[in-house]
Amino acid sequence: MTLDDLEIFVAVCQAENLSAVARELGCTQPAVSQHITRLESELGMPLLERRARGVSVTQAGRLFYDNVVEGLGSIKLGVRQVRQLQAGEAGTLGITTGGTTVRHFMTDVVSAFRRLYPQVQLQFHSANSHRRCIDALRSEQADLAFVTMGAPIRGLEQRPVVEMPWVLVAQQSDSWSRKDSMALQDLRNIPYIRLKESSTSQHQLESLLLDAGIQLEASTTVDDWDTAILFASMGLGCAVTPALHAEQLARQHDIAIIPIDDLPPVVFGWASRRWKSLPKVARDFIQAFATNTSIAPHYLKN
């Protein structure tokens, strides 16, 4: 088996489609299939099950995939560390996250990291969905992703670092603004500003509401929480957002922030291909986040 065989096998497992990998590599589907067939012949077991639309990974394939991903990660880390040694701690650190995350979570962190590593090129890949952040990790456009924590993701590791309560955001003159807190059932009556469906955090929020028997009809749909808060300040409705976003934008917008009782918090954190294979600069960025973030300590997970 060759390195190309292994890399193509990993790509097929992640895409679950031979044609998609062939298009990405600029080759034919039979050429991709040949790499898989060679691995299966050498291992003596089928790794993929061919279906009418795409492929599924067999039990042997999942076992092999986990070890291949770990091995490839170690090889790539070794190459990168040698290149960084050659460059004298220069190089690139790629981080993918939502478009507003740097503003709310990382302003002080980036400054502290820049002082520590003035030669490292920081590349922030803004992504408007959790899926795109994960895709950036898998395609090695980024070393780290700062995302909403959710279900386990095959081939990636997650570490939660921030736990944030949900709050209702309304215009100061709105009748809701006079409340000290909101009962969960009170949300049934709000004119709702929601994030679009591709948002993992929005999906988690609405799942929690559905568990409580609440299904909200949206009057307005936006791309991010900052826009939702802006629209709430304009009197276009009410938004349910993480507390940090509302607290930081309250200085700019005429909003009231009302805690919501009995609504489990949203959790944010880091995702990576393999935690112990992260380059030193990535681990140091995570440490800079832990020691330099301006987030209130009671929001940070121990």
CA-closest candidate to residue 5, choices 43, 50, 59: 43
- Give residue 189's pLDDT: 83
Do residue 187 and residue 255 come from a single domain?
A: yes
Residue 151 lies in a domain: yes
Residue 42 lies in a domain: yes
Residues 170, 208, single domain; the answer is yes
Two tokens, residue 25: 């590599």
Q: Is residue 80 part of a domain?
A: no
In a domain, 76, yes or no: no
The predicted structure's pLDDT at residue 53: 81
Q: How far apart are CA 185 and CA 192, in angstroms?
A: 14
Identity of the amino acid at 277: S
89 pLDDT band, cuts 50/70/90, is low
Q: Give the Cα separation of 219 and 53 in Å (integer).
A: 37
Considering the domain architecture, whether residues 281 and 154 belong to the same structural domain is answered as yes
Q: Which residue has the tokens 């701690």?
A: 89
CATH number of the domain bearing residue 12: 1.10.10.10
- Cα torsion 216, 218, 221, 226 to 10°: value is -60
Q: Which two tokens stand for residue 141?
A: 């456009």
Q: Would 286 be classed as within a structural domain?
A: yes
Give pLDDT, residue 87. Answer: 55
Is residue 257 domain-resident? yes
Q: What average pLDDT does this structure show over 136-165?
A: 87
Residues 173 and 198 placed together within one structural domain of the fold: yes
**pTM of the prediction?**
0.71
What total number of domains does the chain contain? 3
**In a shared domain, residues 123 and 138:** yes
Residues 93 and 143 in one domain: yes
Any domain includes 219: yes
**pLDDT band per the 50, 70, 90 thresholds, residue 233:** very high
Q: Are residues 113 and 35 in the same domain?
A: no
Taking all residues of the chain, what is their mean pLDDT, rounded to a whole number?
87
- Based on the domain organization, do 139 and 273 belong to the same domain? yes
Poorest-confidence range of 191-195, 251-255, 277-281? Answer: 277-281
- Answer yes or no: do 129 and 48 share one domain: no
Give residue 55's domain range.
3-71
Q: Measured on CA atoms in the order 146, 114, 284, 125, is the torsion positive or negative?
A: positive
Residue 79 resides in a domain: no
List, in sequence order, the alpha helices (H) in 55-198. 59-87, 101, 107-116, 130-138
Q: Are residues 53 and 97 in the same domain?
A: no
